[in-house]
Amino acid sequence: MRYDLNLMPIFIALMEERSVTRAAERLGMTQPALSNALSRLRATLQDQLFIRERYGIQPTPVALALAPAIAEAVARLDEAVLGQQEFDPASAERLLTVAPNGYVEFALVPALVARLRRDAPGIRLRLTPYSNDLAETGVVSGTTALVLGRIADPPDNLVVQHLMDEGLACVVRADHPEIGDSMTREQFERLRHVNVVPPGRMRAGLFQALAQQQLRREVAISVTNFFAVAEMVAVTDYCATLPGLICRRLARDPRLKVLPPPVDLGTFPVEMAWHVRYRHDAAHRWLRTLIGEVAAALPGEAR
């Protein structure tokens, strides 16, 4: 029996998105074109495959049974084709979508962009929001090339690579009336604090580190990104506990000073994850190598 291979990615998109609208957007198709392709899929596989419900579509038992085999077949075909392609970063033109958490966007992405401008001016990055739900980032479906941050409980179709470990430090204003060149446990607990939310799993890690050390922290305000911290701390007597690379950037601000935390808060991992179908994509492999080099070249103890 002959199969139309063009229909297989459509099956995968419908299975992963559970929505005709989102699957069409992901594939760059109109909804009528996708509906027509689904009709051909149903005729080929002799099953309804997807049942329309109030909030999207749900796969039939036959679709669920076929999904692993079809996904593996498409992944193998991608590997075979992409593995034969040559990639010249100096002349290549490509748009790659990456989902960094707030820490990576602040600490690593600027250095990455500088390297791209120098070595691969035709490679453009599109940043998409990071989420604890990896499916929301697009990396689980493969529409997003990479997710960068703390990768917890990845599904089987993602490959995870450790990039570095990062520590934590504290930031207060330079002329703080109570804090000198160091901070005691009692001072830390007496201060009010600026909390950064997200970035996702790192936030949970900080709360866990504080709990393990039985270190109390009174949060005065929670902000949504690292860029807000400097202005918040500079005009208050608040303290912020942040990743080391962020603190090294903030230490350049004469209004601020960076101190070690009063107790050892440990480290947290920074990781990179991608869909298995990109294992042998030459451009993707090059980008992963470049990100690893950029991470290794970051200053201080972050590795």
Domain shared by 135 and 72, yes or no: no
Distance CA 247, CA 239 (A): 12
- Is residue 89 included in any domain, yes or no? no
Q: What are 194's strand-pairing partners?
A: 221, 240
- Is residue 57 included in any domain, yes or no? yes
CATH number reported for the structural domain that contains residue 113 in this entry = 3.40.190.10
- Is residue 303 included in any domain, yes or no? no
Residue range 242-291, pLDDT digits in tens: 999 999 889 999 999 999 999 999 988 999 999 888 887 888 899 999 99
Domain shared by 255 and 174, yes or no: yes
Percent of the chain at pLDDT exceeding 90: 49
pLDDT at residue 194, rounded to an integer = 95
> Does residue 138 register a pLDDT over 80?
yes
Residue range 160-195, pLDDT digits in tens: 999 999 999 999 999 999 999 999 999 999 999 999
pTM over 0.75, yes/no:
no
Find the domain containing 24 and state its range.
7-82
- Domain boundary residue, one of 59, 82, 105: 82
Q: Is 171 left (phi over 0), alpha (psi -120 to 50) or beta?
A: beta
The pLDDT-based confidence of 302 (bands split at 50, 70, 90) is very low
Domain shared by 121 and 40, yes or no: no
Residue range 45-73, pLDDT digits in tens: 899 999 988 878 999 999 999 888 887 78
Domain shared by 42 and 78, yes or no: yes
Domain shared by 259 and 177, yes or no: yes
Contact 108, 148 (CB under 8 A): yes
- Domain boundary residue, one of 49, 82, 115: 82
Domain shared by 218 and 292, yes or no: no
- Is residue 259 included in any domain, yes or no? yes
Distance CA 243, CA 241 (A): 7
The pLDDT-based confidence of 78 (bands split at 50, 70, 90) is low
CATH number reported for the structural domain that contains residue 22 in this entry = 1.10.10.10
- Is residue 273 included in any domain, yes or no? yes
Domain shared by 261 and 192, yes or no: yes
- Is residue 301 included in any domain, yes or no? no
When divided into structural domains, the chain yields a total of 3
Domain shared by 200 and 260, yes or no: yes
Query: 168-173 and 50-53 as β-strands: parallel, antiparallel, unpaired?
Result: unpaired
Domain shared by 41 and 126, yes or no: no
Question: What separation in angstroms does the CA of 217 have from each of 234, 261, 263?
Answer: 19, 12, 13
Half-sphere exposure of 13 (CA within 13 A, CB side): 22
- Domain boundary residue, one of 82, 111, 126: 82
- Is residue 88 included in any domain, yes or no? no
